Amino acid sequence: MEACILKIIHDDIVYGYELSEKLQNLGLADVSEGTIYPILLRLQRNNYIYSEKRTSDFGPKRKYYFITEEGKNALKLMTEEWDRILGPIDSILKEDTQHVRKTTDKREQ
């Protein structure tokens, strides 16, 4: 989830509720603000993002989130790790695993 939040903040300056809406629009409808805000705090503690209060056209000031250089580096590493994990899983789910087992069985004989 951290990588998803970092990616959204990387692509666009957002405030908390807007971030929640974007995640929902991207298919993560079950992610609540109660989940998002602790992650935002953790990302701030790790110096991956920072926030600024800015005036809003629609009421009180809002806290907007921005990505830092450390955050960009962390996002790159998270994306690489995701790709490393996703590649083998994708292969397993799309391949005929019985064929792989039969090949392995032949090697054991």
CA distances from 69 to 8, 37, 43, 50 (A): 15, 21, 12, 11
What's the domain count of the chain?
A: 1
Could you tell me the pTM of the whole model? 0.78
Contact predicate 67/9, CB 8 Å: yes
Q: What residues make up the domain containing 28? A: 2-108
Residues 48-106 have pLDDT tens digits of 999 999 988 888 899 999 999 999 999 999 999 999 999 888 888 888 767 665 555 55
Q: Of how many residues is the chain composed? A: 109
Query: In CATH, what number is assigned to the domain containing residue 79?
Result: 1.10.10.10
The residue assigned the tokens 């032949």 is 106
Structure tokens given for 28: 């993560």
Residues 11-53 have pLDDT tens digits of 999 999 899 999 999 998 888 888 899 999 999 999 999 999 9
